[in-house]
Amino acid sequence: MSNLIKIENGIAAVATDDWSLVQLPETHVEERKQAGKVVLFKLTGESTVTEEQIANTVIPATGKVVVPLSVFVERNNELTERIAKGEVGVWLATHELLEYLIQQQANLNQLPIIAIFVERFADGRIFTRYGYKNELRAFGDVLRDQLFFLKRNGFTSFLIRKDRSAAEAIASLNDFSKPYQGAVDIPEPVFRRYHRGA
């Protein structure tokens, strides 16, 4: 059974995945750590992806593919025709800078899908949409209690881990009936939606 949940016309359901997720090959580069955590390039100025990984990433010759951000940027010339046909999307990890993608693809809405990889939930960087209007997908360690808030921020699909229940994930999208804050789905906060009588 598929663990992809898509929201279409406000209804969430398990769906067939039309997209192949392209992964970077494993690297043998030693990770530098600080305080027990990998120091990400946003903090150090260094990339966490090697040129060798980018060059050796296998991209299927046909079909719809979601490629890593670094591959999309560095191998863009070989993808140009497929990008124009709507066959290429991009995935980026929560620590990667969206500006890096925008430098290559100024109009994000020309991409049919952008996927955000959550290696593990550590902060709120995933909770942004940046004016993107097409399929916005979360995958990786996407937790049940995050899905309602991701939906409110405009995420339209969620690839749930195989060890998690898609049915429970769908149920979580309705955890709250009347959200307090404004968001993509309901712009006005609750105090603007309901007027108390004097």
pLDDT tens-digit map of 64-115: 999 999 999 999 999 999 999 999 999 998 888 888 899 999 999 999 999 9
Strand order, beta sheet including 19-21: 11-15, 4-8, 157-159, 135-140, 113-118, 88-93, 64-68, 19-21
The CA distance from 141 to 53, in Å, is: 23
Tokens of 40: 């990400």
Q: What is the spatial distance between Cα 31 and Cα 56, in angstroms, rounded to a whole number?
A: 19
Give the helix/strand (H/E) hosting 43: helix 41-44
CB 160 within 8 A of CB 3: yes
Please, are residues 137 and 116 in contact by the beta-carbon 8 Å criterion?
Answer: yes
Give residue-wise pLDDT tens across range 154-177: 899 999 988 888 888 888 877 666
pTM of the complete model:
0.81
